[in-house]
Amino acid sequence: MPHAADKADQLWWKGAVIYQIYPRSFQDSNDDGIGDLNGITQRLDHIARLGADAIWISPFFTSPMRDFGYDIADYCDVDPIFGTLADFDALVARAHALGLKVTIDQVYAHSSDQHDWFAQSRASRSGEKADWYVWADPKADGTPPNNWQSVFGGPAWTWDARRGQYYMHQFLTSQPQLNVHNPQVQDALLDVMRFWLDRGVDGFRLDALNHAMHDPDFRDNPPAPDDGSPRTRPFDYQIKRYSQSHPGVVPFVERIRALCDAYGAIFTVAEVGGALAEEEMKAYTAGDKRLNSAYGFTFLYAPALTPALVAETVDRWPDEPGMGWPSWAFENHDAPRALSRWCAPEDRPAFARMKMALLMALRGNAILYQGEELGITQVDIPFERLQDPEAIANWPLTLSRDGARTPLPWSADAKQAGFSGVEPWLPHGEDHLALAVDAQERDPESLLHFSRAMLALRKANPALRHGALDIIVADAACLAFRRTSGDQSLLCIFNLSRAAIAWPAGVDGSGRILSAVNGAAPGDLQPYAALLIEQ
């Protein structure tokens, strides 16, 4: 039956399903082993059929590829390995024709050391762009100005003989830190955003946004207490109190929102990690003058999916005035595939269905990483095939990001699984051919067909798309919550364990069943069962 709509229906992004594309591994159109923009355009029908509302494309900008595109040498051009600006324009046109919005990554904390801005900045202490990056004099003994450490290992400072100073980098030495405190730098970054808005982009994912500003006094970070967790990098030994998370990010966020509002319904979502992630996510999205949404790493690195984890996470984002709108991702290009973290191999088919149903039932935007709709698993990449600089530097203690970046399998019987006509930049997973798109198209019981059904269900029900969420049960295995919007009320109940469990006492299971997953029925919760009931 139809249900009353509210103002949220007018915001295309609120409750949207956003499909993340890692362009190197989506589709290779020119047989060089690397995916590209034309390949994305060729395969957009797959995403439209899935039922996603938008795509998010990871960086495709001009880059030396030290960090595979997150080191940008020109913010306003396409790297030749991915194509041209004309190819991007064609991609946008095709996506819009299919009803898909287009969001792209923006990386404002740092650039590549090959960017012309950095070349000018390092050339002179008095030049026009001298203060566009973070520079500091050495201590009297020649050592770096403070104890800050980089995420990828080693000091966050590299000596530059041209200026006779250290420059800051929170990641690779080839990713110098932009001085986003500088209003001129902010203006230049907003011009970048304007460039892509003028090309028809519908939104932005802001990479590592809480890394964008530092303490101008360069105070030392305090040591982090030993909590028993493995420490694989010097970065893990510090509380990042001064090297990131400066409150000055918030006024910059408000400038971003003002620009995007001038272009209409543009979606902005921040990626925020670290110990203060939740606090910063809320600060960046509070009210109606900041970003639309934010997401962190709560689920991306969680070793297990538990009712307590879900309940505690969603409870922190209540449906209250002034509270930001969350986004959720179970997988992305930086985190291990969820099925390889959260269940035993023999449980993957059932678990994948339950997981997809849960993601589609949560309040907030759902971000699907390419291949998640197929049940793709983490690939064990041998050391000699590693591309990820972090994994190479910290081998074997850091789990390779490459294992989640392998090429998508399109055809079970085609050469290189239909991704390319030549050997791809990363190997296919041995178990991925059986999960190929064409194989799942032929199987009406496949995860791909199930995923389409779940996305359609979310889109058809206002309570799932943007309604309130109230936890009812969150015990050792059972998670139950209610989604409500207008006159619609849905009971969503999940068994997150591999054993059958009793129906929770006092929970009314009557009503119209919208979805019954893995043999679920009112009063009967089989392993990894899920039920969505309209009441």
d(CA 218, CA 241): 11
Q: 52 near 17, Cβ under 8 Å?
A: yes
Q: Which of 28, 113, 207, 334 is catalytic?
A: 207
Written as one letter, the residue type at 529 is A
d(CA 480, CA 471): 6
> Catalytic: 431?
no
- Planar angle of CA 82, 452, 10, nearest 5 degrees: 80
Residue written as tokens 């910063």? 280
d(CA 38, CA 248): 39
Which of 74, 185, 174, 210 lies closest to 130, judged by CA?
185
9 φ/ψ angles, rounded to the nearest 5 degrees = -65, -20
Cis peptide before 396, with omega less than 30 degrees from 0?
yes
Expressed in angstroms, the distance from the first to the final Cα of the chain is: 12
DSSP-derived 3-state class of residue 44: helix
Which runs of consecutive H residues, i.e. helices, occur in 269-306? Answer: 277-285
d(CA 75, CA 10): 31
Q: 42 near 499, Cβ under 8 Å?
A: no
> Catalytic: 131?
no
Residue written as tokens 């493995």? 230
d(CA 270, CA 524): 40
Q: Which of 87, 271, 280, 390 is catalytic?
A: 271
Q: Is 32 left (phi over 0), alpha (psi -120 to 50) or beta?
A: alpha
User: What is the token pair recorded at 105?
Assistant: 């990554």
Q: Which helix (H) or strand (E) holds 390?
A: helix 389-393
Q: Which residues contact 372 (CB under 8 A, 6 or more apart)?
A: 330, 331, 338, 356
Q: Which residues contact 236 (CB under 8 A, 6 or more apart)?
A: 224, 229
Which of 238, 171, 173, 197 lies closest to 76, judged by CA?
197
User: What is the token pair recorded at 255?
Assistant: 């400038």
Distances in whole angstroms, Cα of residue 129 to Cα of each of 170, 178, 372: 20, 11, 43
Angle between helices 249-262 and 277-285 (to 10 degrees): 40
Residue written as tokens 């069962």? 529
Q: 168 near 151, Cβ under 8 Å?
A: no
Q: Are strands 293-295 and 325-329 parallel, antiparallel or unpaired?
A: parallel
SS3 content of the chain, % helix, strand, coil (to 5): 30, 20, 50
Residue written as tokens 């006159």? 487
Q: Which residues are identified as catalytic?
A: 207, 271
